[in-house]
Structure 1
Amino acid sequence: PDDVQISYRQGPSSDGFNELIISSINCGGSKGCPLDAVSKASEKFGTDSPQSLCEIASAGNIFTNELQPLTMVFIATTGVLIVVLLVTVIILMRYRTSEIKIEDVRI
């Protein structure tokens, strides 16, 4: 009456579901298992803090709040290029303005 069938998805890129085979539960050869039997068998796999299962302790923290050397180089290069661009635009605006005035006088 209260038989359960457990399925899981392969990953975020997959839409198909796979059936979980629970070998430690005696389901009597049926397609589903009693809910009590599944609950009892899955107790040893439970955890109070599921977030701890997602942490990667051996690799260290991948995303840190510190600026990495390569990031600092990109920031410095971007800053220098912005200053060069602004100086170039200002210089070009001055010469263009003076050329327009000279052309207006010649006409």
Structure 2
Amino acid sequence: MPKRDYHNYWVYILTNKPNGVLYIGFTAGLDDRMERHSDGNGSFFTSKYRLKRLVYFEEFQYVEDAIKREKQLKNWRRDWKINLIEKENPNWDNLWERLDSETSSE
């Protein structure tokens, strides 16, 4: 397999409802990861709380940067995380539905 010049890594936040339980994750494949979360196979925590709504994500080229950001967000206070989400997604829309429809129409 040839080495790629550019990789994609994502840090993302899931919830079950606006201002609900928050989960911060990291992945190298957002499509696959969101499908697993949607099917209830993402992780025990996300399955237990039915966290399927993607409310925030950031993309990175370098895995080290993504891991560093994930750790940073996990250490933030809850109100900081909520402010971050609401700055980009004030209605707590499920961004995965939007992204999924964009990628399936290509």
Structure 1 and Structure 2 fold alike (TM over 0.5) = no
**Higher helix fraction (1 or 2):** 1
**Higher strand fraction (1 or 2):** 2
TM-score (norm 2): 0.28
TM-score (norm 1): 0.28
